[in-house]
Amino acid sequence: MDIKTLKIFVQIVKSQSFTAAAEQLYMTQPTVSKAIAAFEQELATTLFKKGEAGRKREVELTYTGQQIYQHALTILDEQKKIYETLEDIKHLKKGKLTLGVPPLGSVLLTSLIASFHKQYPDIELQFMEVGSNAISEAILNRTLDVGVLLSNHNPILAEIPIVDSSLCLLSAKHSRWKNIQEVSLADLKEESFLLYDDSFTLNNLIIQAAQVEGFQPKIVCKSSQWDFIAKMVEFSMGIALLPQIYC
């Protein structure tokens, strides 16, 4: 059984004629008859009632043929829906996009996401808010379709730069850094650091950069929530480093 045979069978019933069905399908009448004979043999049943001389009348279904016809209509309708769905996805009319963003990503991506939704309103957007390391891993294992990363060092991943940003120092209002415009990482070696957890690339970058400067940062806390980190900075528990675009 295949789709082609089902189309032949359905067309015969709709046109009430083997000959008419053959013409509409751009086939010869013998080819249509052979296809139905093979179909009946495969199903071990008779689909059409026979005339007095043993010839098939044009056209009356047996009880079994009526049941098969209804199923054939359903199958062909489902096939049509499959192709329509694929066409919609191909032209971004329907589908789902899973996007990985860091907790601060909403600040940067809100306008872009709104613009995408306006252009493709029937695309369902699903977000996973985790650090860059976790996003990179999720893309590789196909849990995510696309992600926003602080930086990408994996040659397997294709990338499109969105923004280039330096880091800014987040400190309590009364700290000694209050009126200083520019600070080197080496200047911060005596400070207590509030970092993101290990799933964030920024966390690793800060630690590695500090080691290059000759010191191991004193980490008092790690969190995946930037607002919690900011609150702890406000209460003088330490300093934090964030991309400039978020400051």
pLDDT of residue 157: 81
Angle at 202 between CA 201 and CA 208, to 5 degrees: 90
Query: Residue 36 and residue 18: Cα distance in Å, rounded?
Result: 10
What is the gyration radius of the CA atoms in the chain, in angstroms? Answer: 33
pLDDT of residue 245: 66
Class of the domain covering 3-90: mainly alpha
Asked, colleague to colleague, whether 95-147 and 167-246 share their fold, the answer is yes
Contact residues for 19 (Cβ-Cβ < 8 A; gap 6+): 29, 58
End-to-end CA distance of the chain: 65
CATH of region 95-147:
3.40.190.10
pLDDT of residue 186: 93
CB 129 within 8 A of CB 101: yes
DSSP one-letter string for 35-98? HHHHHHHHHTS--EEE-TTSPEEEEEE-HHHHHHHHHHHHHHHHHHHHHHHHHHHHTTSSEEEE
**Domain spans in the chain, listed from the N-terminal domain onward:** 3-90, 95-147, 167-246
CATH architecture of 167-246: 3-Layer(aba) Sandwich (3.40)
The ranges of the chain with pLDDT < 70 are 51-58, 88-89, 104-108, 151-153, 163, 245-247
CB 102 within 8 A of CB 201: no
The predicted model scores a pTM of: 0.48
Query: Residue 219 and residue 194: Cα distance in Å, rounded?
Result: 6
